[in-house]
Chain A
Amino acid sequence: MTTPGWWAMALCEAVNDKTPLAVAFAGEELVLFRNAEGQAFALEDRCPHRRVPLALGRVVAAGLQCGYHGWTFDGASGRCTQIPNLRTNEPVPPRYAARAFPVSEGNGFVHVWLGEGVPDIDLPTDDYRPVGQQFTGSTIVNMSHEQYLAAMLDGPECLLNFAHVRMTDFFLGDVRKEHGRLVLERGAVWTTQILPSNFVVDYPLIVRTEVPVQGGSIRVDLLSEDETPLISLAIASGANRRGTTSLCWRGFVHAEVPAKAPLRWRTARVWHKAPFTVNSLIDGSAVAALLEAPSRDLHAARPPRLIPVSAVV
């Protein structure tokens, strides 16, 4: 089964015209790079000559040059444009090509279209509208993608933290579907609060997690009790090899400061300290202890497998 779609695979600043970037998302191993004009390209990370990863090569004026024999591939079409030692008047057969994938940059992410069909105009990160300083990162976590998405609904505290905030597992309503994502909210409290969260009448904070029904674009927001956004994150996720998950993310702090925000939160904000952490190391015992709850809706809503079958250029 093929479910076409855009996958955010890298931060824009991580892709350059010097060193190719290997990424693995949704079971595809790709290599990203830019030309001298700054245009980003995505090729399958496999030279069609001897199957060596193209990410071991280097970016040259004509495209991406394989590190084994120097075959060079055009980023846009994937066509092999140069084979070392061929005479200058000797053409390379047109069918000699690496698989090329459509690329679209937006909202600070490099998106790659996987699957067949015509690429959409809309990008999955379009609802990420940062203001001010952004906090970014990327990692690979030791957890399968489907389980990562499920844990993002059942227990996001296992996967990420907001500074000076303690998430609770009291869900504020059921999972709802909005704009192609399953949305769930839960209560949260400031860590400076003396009383345990059980004694709170109304939670001062809300953590809203949005998990995609297709693709891998996760959205997480920290809201005040009146649902004013305080911190927003866009997390791009996708299946890497051996049951791991690739992640890259961007986040920012909104201008609003809640009236009851503790001093340490305000101070950290003034000093531009990172307002959140996306965990690279995940506590297996904490994940194992998560009871399956909202993620039941995810299993029902999300196609069991996304397998892109061919490149579309």
Chain B
Amino acid sequence: MHAVPSTNETTTGEAPARKLRGDWTPINYDLRDTWFPVSHSRDLCARPIRRIIHAQPYYLWRENGLPIAAEFHPQRSKGEALHLSEFTGGSGFYPVVERYGYIWAWYGNPDAADPLQLPHIPFLPEDGNIPGYTQRTVRFDATSALSVENLIDLTHADFLHANTIGDGISESDVVEVEWTSETVTRTRTVAQKSVAPIMRWVGGVRAKYQDFRAVLHIHLRSNVCISYPRFRPGYDVPNLQPFLPVGKHRSRCDVTFNTTAAPAPFRYVMPRINYIIQPQDNSVVRPQNQRYFEADERLDMHSRFDKPGTRYRYQMEQLAERQAAGQFAYGSDAEPGRDISGLLGMND
């Protein structure tokens, strides 16, 4: 039995106009006016920590329990003339919100910051009250867009991570892609796939095969990837993987796997799976990164299994073009904060 291709595409976006495609150069994308989850809430205390979004410095700390995000270090910069940027409107302080166990900082025009544009993450408590074992930090040796592309890419998981996630052999395998001007959503529905090794050996799932439905919802500006895989027999493993663009060559991912509903020891082990998967991914994305610095005359070749990825590339290009033209407002089809419980399949 072999996987079945993604033949049933659902298209909620408008049909794109035909035009000559150039090469994909994700390293140069610097998308603005969005909320980035820059840190797990639990990592923030009175002592300032440093984060970087593209090339912009973010210093984060708490005052009276409330998060502060600034483009200067509160202690080191005393008495110095500060060079404040347009990202803080000259105030030195970024708009900041704490939600879902993360500190969200605004990147872009501070006047456009609106908490209503925060992504909706239905499987995380708004107050961030979630056990520490669900949260981990991993680093990817590639620009954030390549890291997201790696996540949306299906066949590499079957091949590169087969020993962890399982191979690509199944009775049927249907991939659907939906998109708006600000998001791409990939849904994969697999019937009778070999049970993922981690679920077999740690999760106690003794069946030989399992069905699963995995929804990945990507916010293009912020690289926030909201994933909801459901395994039957097995468990739901909802997770948030936000790829923070730390310059053109690296990305940071403060991950949350909400495995609180799964049995032990699976609930403790699963959030740590990235420590196995991430080196495997880094072994390929690291050398890949330098080959996307500049447009190549030879465009990438795609199989039909790459449709989610090619759609992601196209939507990113469209968004980058709009921003390059000075259009930073969210399109009428984009509601970053809309309830996505149904989209993720949580209500089924």
Contact = CB atoms under 8 A, between A and B. Distances in A.
A180 B302 CA distance: 45
A186 B153 CA distance: 61
A208 B3 CA distance: 63
B303 A83 contact: yes
Contact of A84 (B5, B159, B298, B300): B159
B163 interface: no
A86 interface: yes
> Which residue, of A46, A51, A70, has the highest number of chain B Cβ atoms within 10 A?
A51
Nearest to B281: A68
B159 A69 contact: yes
A204 interface: no
A85 B284 contact: no
A69 B156 contact: yes
Nearest to A86: B303
Contacts of A53: 287
A293 interface: no
A96 B301 contact: yes
15 contacts: A48-B300, A49-B302, A50-B288, A51-B288, A52-B287, A68-B160, A69-B153, A69-B156, A69-B160, A70-B159, A80-B301, A84-B158, A85-B3, A85-B5, A85-B155
Interface in A7-31: none
Interface of B: 2-3, 5, 153, 155-156, 158-160, 168, 173, 283-284, 287-288, 291-292, 296, 298, 300-303, 305
A48 B283 contact: no
Interface string A53-73: 100100000000001111100
Given A69-B156, A69-B159, A85-B3, A49 B300 contact: yes
Interface string A232-263: 00000000000000000000000000000000
Contacts of B159: 68-70, 84
Query: Nearest 5 CB-CB pairs, A to B?
Result: A51-B291, A70-B159, A85-B3, A68-B284, A52-B284
A85 B168 contact: yes
A95 B300 CA distance: 12
A87 interface: yes
Interface in A155-196: none
Given A50-B284, A84-B155, A84-B168, 14 more contacts: A49-B301, A50-B300, A51-B296, A51-B300, A56-B283, A56-B287, A67-B284, A69-B153, A69-B155, A70-B159, A84-B159, A85-B5, A85-B155, A96-B301
Contacts of A51: 288, 291-292, 296, 300
Contacts of B300: 48-51
A56 B284 contact: yes
Contacts of A69: 153, 155-156, 159-160
Contact of B156 (A48, A68, A80): A68
A96 B288 CA distance: 19
A61 to B, nearest CB: 17
A48 B302 CA distance: 9
Interface string A68-97: 111100000000100111111000000110
B89 to A, nearest CB: 40
Contacts of A80: 301
A51 B294 CA distance: 13
Contact of A46 (B168, B291, B305): B291
Contacts of A84: 155, 158-159, 168
B147 to A, nearest CB: 13
A291 B271 CA distance: 62
Contacts of A49: 300-303
A86 B306 CA distance: 12
A87 B2 CA distance: 7
B319 to A, nearest CB: 21
A154 to B, nearest CB: 34
Contacts of B287: 52-53, 56
